[in-house]
Structure 1
Amino acid sequence: MSMKKEHVALGLALALAGCGGGGQAVTQPGDTTLSQDMDNAKDAVGLERLSVAEQQYRAAGQRAIARDDVSAIGDAGYNLATVQLDEGKPQDALSTVTATRSALAMRGQTGDDAGLDLVQAGALRRLGRDTEAAAAATRAAGAQDTDIVEKAQLIRGLIADDSGDQATLASVDAYFASLTGKLPDGWTADAREIAARNLLVTGGSTQTAMQDAMQAATIRQTQVDYRDMARALGVAARAAGKAGNMQEASQLYARASQSARQAGDKAAADQWAKQAGTTIAADPFAQSDTTTATKKK
């Protein structure tokens, strides 16, 4: 029985969006309980009920172990790890990746798994282990699945920009520029963000960088991909600052910070709040601290 990797959003200060792949083998007898667990988890992800999705993917994985089904184990493990990452639990995601690899190896599957490399790269980047993350992303970029390759290239580009590796950033920008035909909207957004980042480090047009970043943000807003949208706003803020438009830069950093915080990315929210400076406005929908003082007796 072949289940399907759902390739749900990976989240990060970088959120990775989904990758396609895997197919259902309809000619083989199936396990309806296992299929239902996977379907329930996918539905929960669609509703952003990630804690429910985590429980359902874990249940699917347990059922896959009972079935001794290598394909289903790999798919459930990948999906569980991506949900954990999107919940802001990168260490749990790494543990799931490691355990999934061990379970696959025990059953004779010792080859590379680009999907697991991809989520591992995302988790390592969230933990600040960029050198290891870059290595995992480079392995994933060698995949046959073009969706995995695209997201792996995005991670490579983000790490390169953060670390000042202009050569790698340029190569990733060239990869996106080489893509032809009608691209998925998510790919277009990734391409525009990388293009903006490359322009900003090579001394290119700040106006074009701003336009590219804002296009990426607009696409991601439409796709309900708010973590990535916030990151694109942060790039637009960099462009505004480099152009000398400090008030606009502060406002964009503030917007990125507020969006990231509501999307559950506290680390990025705190970073952008600092860059916004004193101009950041209060979130009108945040709960106020209404603690009451008690008198000492």
Structure 2
Amino acid sequence: MRATYLASVAMVLVLAGCGGGGKVAAPTDGTLSQDMETGRDAVDLGRLSVAEGQYRAAGVRALARDDVAAIGDAGYNLAVVQLDENRPQDALTTIASTRAALSVRGTQSDDTGLDLVQAGALYRLDRFDEAANSATSAARASDPAIVEKAQLLSGIIADARGDRGTLDKVAAYFTQLPKTAAWSWLADAQEITARRLLADGGSAQTAYQDAMQAVAARQTHVEYRDMARGLSVAARAAGQAGNASQAAALYLRASQSAQKEGDTQNADAWRKLAGTLNMPDPFASPANDSTTQPRAAATATGAVTQK
């Protein structure tokens, strides 16, 4: 089955201020600096449309300033936001334009950050071979954070393609991570371990446990898109273990989480795997007109107080 990829794989790097054109060292243009900071704040609050506007404004200012590093950062961040908004084709357009703008200025900067986002966008468009090539390029980065996320994405793509050789290499990379590595890296390692077990026909129960440990860590650290993907891996493990009802419930949970985070593509895919179109949602807006709600509430209150 296809393994789904979420844009939050790259979002980690946005918050770290890592861009395709290199890290900006405190730009002297106050407007540019403010646009970038406001964009990052909006991302942190999940206000992606606001973030997109701020990164566009930052990019316009960077072009006016003819600032190569800022152009790369703004283009990278804009592409990541577009990917998180489920607009992979727009992200690819932004990446291509950013590369062209950097090329015109004769930059020799490290584009591996752009390679990483490009890999994610291509994967979302089911262009697996191209996505794998871009992920391989990103894995050559000098920044360990880009390398780690590129390895994770390479493993997810390999799992989708049935490429056991690459999946084994990625698993070996994660096996070598120290126990003191960042929590997110360790959670990624658990996901890859689970995927490899399932691909190899290993213990589905162990794969389930690994996936759910990754889910718990991501839930704790408010990484809900990655958490939802982990739930889908756990669902796959439950299915391979012969527990169809548990698999359906896990796919439903993954779908609902993804839907609430705005990831409609994965939400739809996982809901279909759950085998149902009905997701219980006690917090959905009532279908009734708002003017009828106070009367309904009053009636309910009266029913409770009557004896």
Measure how far apart 1:287 and its partner are.
Answer: 3.7
Task: Determine if contact 1:141/1:153 at 8 Å carries over to the other structure.
Answer: yes
Measure how far apart 1:289 and its partner are.
Answer: 5.6
The worse-fitting range, judged by mean Cα deviation, of 273-282 and 75-84 is 273-282
In structure 1, C-alpha distance between the alignment counterparts of 2:272 and 2:196, rounded to whole Å: 23
Alignment partner, residue 178 of structure 1: 176
Q: Which residue of 146, 152, 169 maps to 1:148? A: 146
The worse-fitting range, judged by mean Cα deviation, of 216-225 and 58-67 is 216-225
| Percent identity of equivalent pairs | 61
Task: Determine if contact 1:173/1:195 at 8 Å carries over to the other structure.
Answer: yes
Cα distance, 1:110–1:66 mapped onto 2, change above 3 Å = same
In structure 2, C-alpha distance between the alignment counterparts of 1:130 and 1:288, rounded to whole Å: 41
Task: Determine if contact 1:196/1:212 at 8 Å carries over to the other structure.
Answer: yes
In structure 2, C-alpha distance between the alignment counterparts of 1:181 and 1:244, rounded to whole Å: 32
Measure how far apart 1:218 and its partner are.
Answer: 1.1
Measure how far apart 1:223 and its partner are.
Answer: 2.2
In structure 2, C-alpha distance between the alignment counterparts of 1:94 and 1:270, rounded to whole Å: 23
Alignment partner, residue 284 of structure 2: 286
Q: Secondary structure at the match of 2:211?
A: helix
Alignment partner, residue 38 of structure 2: 40
In structure 2, C-alpha distance between the alignment counterparts of 1:94 and 1:72, rounded to whole Å: 19
Q: TM-score, normalised by structure 2?
A: 0.86
In structure 1, C-alpha distance between the alignment counterparts of 2:149 and 2:219, rounded to whole Å: 18
In structure 1, C-alpha distance between the alignment counterparts of 2:7 and 2:76, rounded to whole Å: 18
Task: Determine if contact 1:214/1:236 at 8 Å carries over to the other structure.
Answer: yes
Structure 2 counterparts to residues 92-241 of structure 1, below 5 A = 92-110=90-108, 112-241=110-239
Measure how far apart 1:130 and its partner are.
Answer: 1.1
Alignment partner, residue 5 of structure 1: none
In structure 1, C-alpha distance between the alignment counterparts of 2:279 and 2:71, rounded to whole Å: 47
Task: Determine if contact 2:112/2:141 at 8 Å carries over to the other structure.
Answer: yes
In structure 1, C-alpha distance between the alignment counterparts of 2:98 and 2:24, rounded to whole Å: 20
Cα distance, 1:50–1:278 mapped onto 2, change above 3 Å = closer
Measure how far apart 1:282 and its partner are.
Answer: 2.4
Measure how far apart 1:23 and its partner are.
Answer: 4.6
Task: Determine if contact 2:24/2:69 at 8 Å carries over to the other structure.
Answer: no
> Which structure has the larger Rg?
2
* Higher share of residues assigned helix: 2
Alignment partner, residue 298 of structure 2: none
Measure how far apart 1:41 and its partner are.
Answer: 0.6
Aligned length: 279
Which residue type is aligned with residue 92 of structure 1? D
Gaps of 5+ in 1: 1-10, 292-297
Q: Does 1:18 align with 2:16?
A: no
Q: Does 1:53 align with 2:39?
A: no
Gaps of 5+ in 2: 290-307
Residues 23-45 of structure 1, C-alpha deviation per residue, up to 9 Å, x if partnerless? 5535xx71111101111111111
The worse-fitting range, judged by mean Cα deviation, of 29-38 and 281-290 is 281-290
Measure how far apart 1:15 and its partner are.
Answer: 3.6
Q: TM-score, normalised by structure 1?
A: 0.88
Q: Secondary structure at the match of 1:151?
A: helix
Q: Which residue of 19, 29, 32 maps to 1:31? A: 29
